[in-house]
Structure 1
Amino acid sequence: MKAGFISLGCSKNLVDTEVMLGILRQNGYELVNEAAEADVLIVNTCAFIESAKEESITTVLTMAEYKEPGKGRCKSLIIAGCLGQRYGQELLDDLPEADGIIGTGSWHRIMEAIEETLAGNRVVINRENEIIYDASVPRIPTTPSYTAYVKIAEGCNNRCAFCAIPLIRGRYRSRSVEDIRQEVEVLVAKGVREIVLIAQDTTNYGHDIYGEPSLARLLKELCRIEGIKWLRTLYSYPKFFTDELIEVIASEEKLVKYVDIPLQHANDEILRAMHRPDTKAEVTALLQKLRERIPGVVIRSTFIVGFPGETDAQYQELKEFLQQQRFDHVGIFTYSREEDTAAAEMEGQVPEEVMQDRYHDLKATQSLISQQLNEALEGQVLEVLVEGRTEDGMPYGRSYRQADDVDDSIYIEDDRTSQVGDMVKVRILQGFTEDLVGELVR
């Protein structure tokens, strides 16, 4: 039997896909890249915002075409992940093309779902929401051989007013330091050079099992593993960004000086309405501390425009905050009204055209900042992890300053020798709004 996977959404969802791939291979399935060759097709879906739901549904319907004679051999089409967890039987009723649903907390029952659907039964398995994989679970990384994501916790306790993740993924639950170290050791032994730690909120790691935020403890333990070149942490919320954590990032050589800290807004009234626990003053003080104590630190953040009740003045305060802070990387999103969230019922929903105007204005503001910051890198020498080549053969990659999949790239001129996975010294020649161009330092 052959199985094919399509993984949508975030890196946390990708890890779930990799775990299910491991379970299928352990049970004798051949994994294929061509949908037309698969007996079983599994779409691991995202349901974070409306556009992600639409992409998930479109992908499921596209895969359903491979059930048609002459186009494919699919006998079972399964919807996995967030969309299935959130809508369950309702989703299966609305999509007769699908044969089964398996939720985010039921990945360990993927074989049961496949066997039931192949037997002709339409099933929904999405009741559990307390499971998180551990180092003993088989896993097939789908990322390039030099980098891998490691999920250190599942779920979220923050209950931000705009976010449905706690409804989908459940309460926050951490893996143990020992279990995470065991998985990382296996990955490094296979040649992985960059480990990227992920969770819905990484700075909250360990609170549930150790009684206090324990990300600093985890990072110190992982830095003892030989073979790791870069250790990167994403989704670090400001609430538990402790002084100890800052000192660990500053002092440990293997920890890249890169902080991903989702802030979402800069106006205190909007932050309170979002159910965010931080104030603008507290966040500003934290950013100052990060820059003072971690020389060369790169800071990435994300912001939402058009949250219910956001006035022109409050938007302007956000814009001025970006101009003052000059973040290295910024993700900007328009507010998405998600059912069953607190914000969905709030008064003052901002019209779509106003949101779009603010979105494009803030994007333009940040683009200018990004270009200026990239131009300031001209002349500097950075260590670059080579990730591929353009069609005309130019290598490209990223330094500690860029995270995989979300940040810009560095293109290397007149380099015909570097191979994917190599780490090379590159002198930056030109900085642009999104990317940089450099030359190999021989």
Structure 2
Amino acid sequence: MNNLHIITLGCPKNSVDSEALAGWLDPSRWRLVQDVQQADVVLVNTCGFIQPAVEESIDVILDLERMKEQGAIRSIAVVGCMVNRYGEDLKKEFPSVDYWAEAEKWQALAQAMDLGSRSSGRKLLSSSPWTRYLKVGEGCNTRCSFCTIPSIRGPLKSRSPEDLVQEAVAMVEEGAKELCLVGQDLTVYGLDLKGKPSLPLLLDMLEDALPEDLWIRLFYLHPSRVDRALLERVLGSPRIVPWLDVPVQHVDDRILRAMNRPPVEAHIRELFKIGREMYPDFAFRTTLMVGFPGETEESFQSLLDFVEDVRFDRLGAFTYCAEEGTPAALMEDQVPQEIKDGRYAELMELQQEISLSRQRSFVGKVMDVLVEDVDEEDGTRWGRSFRDAPEIDGLVAISDAEGVTPGQIVKVSISDASEYDLFGEILR
């Protein structure tokens, strides 16, 4: 019996890939282990999107090489986005790696490693079976000037809605209480299959097939293609949580044109205003970039003004990285790292104040919370509301919840709030 440990780096889409890869394992010859110290073979599913992710992946490979030299593990496999991007160079740099595979080339890898002869579908790798990711497709046609995804993953390739529904039903049967739909851009799902975006069709098919108490969460929605109809579709559904992830990146028209993205400031302002008029608690998450080439103090201030006005519930940000092979890396007026870091800190300080204000608006309300963990010392249960995406957003701490186990959805009366977390008591 061979013991295999899988390390997944990067975004939730990589987690889906790791589960698909694990489905190739022949259980009569391969056993998945949670501890790398128990492994004979270690497989690392890499991220190659931006330089910090590449550096993290390389650090992991270096650690595995040392383990192999010491005899702690027998073999190393490196797969995923970083191999797509730097494959031949990596093979020269790391000759002790035994197996290489580009993202989604799992059948060839399974044959090379003698994992098994056929896939049994996705295999749960997380200790949280109640929250699962459903990847609707791969690749991207948008080609933002700063982004490496099209060169790594290729053009849009949507999965059939029938396959997605079948996979979703299987995950619910395995205990899923929340399905997070992910892709490079959810709003163009199905364009390559049906000649037009087909996300509403997919949502209809999922809702017809899935139980009413399931949560469906939508990630990675391009701002120019989110409209009132989608907001109404979300609010009219008993399953789709009123939380949308809309990565805006920036609002200055000149910067957006340089990013090869359409100007969206007026559209987004109006859209989010409509959403909050429809439902004041509608949760909006975004991602912003600071320090893109040519970003001046004026254009950065316009970004701060936009964030102040829109008041996102959740906001992630990162400093621009000049990625090799992208048009933006060749642009003039690159912003010094010191200035980028300062702008990042200023943006996040502003968002912290906004987040606390939005959080406090939920004090006194009753919310459904999906319980995820139990603090063994004081018995506090920790979970997430509709406003909290797994791994990236805040949590809800629940007191007086004896007997409540992870995976349950319970009603919680909110009594206090911090910048990112809520606190409350279970409503019996």
Identify the TM-score tier after normalising by the shorter chain. over 0.9
1:65 matched residue in structure 2: 66
**Percent pairwise identity:** 40
Correspondence for 2:361 among 372, 376, 392? 376
How far residue 171 of structure 1 moved from its aligned partner, in angstroms, is 0.5
Match in the other structure for 2:15: 14
Is contact 2:251-2:263 (8 Å) kept? no
Separation in 1 of the partners of 2:12 and 2:26? Answer: 21
Count of matched residue pairs: 421
Q: Bigger shift: 104-113 or 77-86?
A: 104-113
Residue number in structure 1 paired with 2:130: 146
Q: What TM-score, normalized to structure 1?
A: 0.92
TM-score normalised over the length of structure 2: 0.95
1:367 counterpart = 2:366? no
| 1:430 matches 2:380 | no
Q: Which residue matches 1:386?
A: 371
Is the contact made by 1:220 and 1:248 (CA closer than 8 Å) also made in structure 2? no
Asked if 1 retains the 8 angstrom alpha-carbon contact of 2:223 and 2:264, the reply is no
Give, in whole Å, the separation in 2 of the partners of 1:26 and 1:138. Answer: 13
C-alpha distance in structure 1 between counterparts of 2:133 and 2:189, whole Å:
16
**Does residue 336 of structure 1 match 2:321?**
yes
Deviation at 1:77, TM superposition (A): 0.8
Cα pair 2:156 2:192 within 8 Å, conserved: yes
The equivalent residue for 2:45 is 44
Shift of 1:254: 0.7
The aligned residue for residue 127 of structure 1 is none
- Note the 1:81-92 alignment, pairs <5 A: 81-92=80-91
- In the alignment, residue 382 of structure 2 is paired with which amino acid? Y
CA separation of 1:294/1:377 partners in 2, compared to 1, >3 Å: closer, same or farther? Answer: closer
User: Gaps spanning 5+ residues in structure 2: where?
Assistant: none
Name the CA distance, whole Å, in 2 between partners of 1:27 and 1:205: 38
1:224-264 deviation per Cα after TM superposition (whole angstroms, max 9, x unaligned): 12435101111111232244323221211111111110000
- Select the residue among 152, 156, 168 that pairs with 1:172: 156
Per-residue CA deviation, residues 362-398 of structure 1 (Å, 9 max, x unaligned), is 0100000001111111101001111002352211101
441 and 56 in structure 1: CA distance in 2 versus 1, 3 angstrom threshold:
same
Q: Is the 8 A contact 1:375 1:430 kept in 2?
A: yes
Name the SS for the 1:223 alignment partner: helix
Deviates more, 1:287-296 or 1:29-38: 287-296
Q: Contact 1:42–1:78 at 8 Å: present in 2 too?
A: yes
1:199 touches 1:235 (CA, 8 Å); kept in 2? yes
Q: Which residue of 1 is the match for residue 389 of structure 2?
A: 403
Deviant stretches of 4+, over 4 Å: none
Secondary structure of residue in 1 paired with 2:23: helix
Is residue 2:230 matched to residue 1:245? yes
Q: Separation in 2 of the partners of 1:231 and 1:95?
A: 41
**Matched-pair contact (CA < 8 Å) for 1:92–1:100:** no
**In the alignment, which residue of structure 2 is the partner of 1:95?**
94
- Quote the residue 1:218 is aligned against: 202
Secondary structure of the 1:257 match is strand
Q: Deviations over 1:181-204 (max 9, x none)?
A: 111111112221111111010011
Q: What is the rounded CA distance, in whole Å, between the counterparts of 1:180 and 1:226 in structure 2?
A: 12
How is 1:153-302 mapped onto 2 (pairs within 5 angstroms)?
Answer: 153-227=137-211, 229-294=214-279, 296-302=281-287
Aligned to 1:414: 400
Q: Distance between the aligned counterparts of 2:316 and 2:376, measured in 1?
A: 28
Distance 2:228 2:347 in 1: 31
**Helix, strand or coil: the match of 1:256?**
strand
Q: Distance in 1 between matches of 2:210 and 2:82?
A: 39
CA distance in 2, matches of 1:318, 1:156: 26
Residues 286 and 299 of structure 1, relative CA distance in 2, 3 Å threshold: same
Task: Note if contact 1:249-1:294 (Cα within 8 Å) is conserved in structure 2.
Answer: no
CA RMSD of aligned residues (A): 1.7
Please give the alpha-carbon distance, in whole angstroms, between the structure 2 residues aligned to 1:350 and 1:115. Answer: 49
- Indicate the SS of the match to 1:301: strand
| 2:227–2:271 Cα contact (<8 Å) kept | no
Deviation at 1:68, TM superposition (A): 3.0
Aligned to 1:350: 335
CA contact (8 A) 1:246 1:294 kept: no
1:305 aligns with 2:286: no
Q: Is the CA contact 2:286–2:316 (under 8 Å) kept in the aligned structure 1?
A: yes
Contact map agreement 1:25 1:31 (CA 8 A) in 2:
no
- Distance of 2:28 and 2:270 partners within structure 1: 52
Query: What is the alpha-carbon distance in structure 2 between the residues aligned to residue 73 and residue 402 of structure 1?
Result: 38
Separation in structure 2 between the aligned mates of residue 410 and residue 206 of structure 1, nearest angstrom: 35
Gap change, CA 1:25 and 1:406, over 3 Å in 2: farther
Residue of structure 1 equivalent to 2:109: 110
Q: Give the match's secondary structure for 1:338.
A: coil
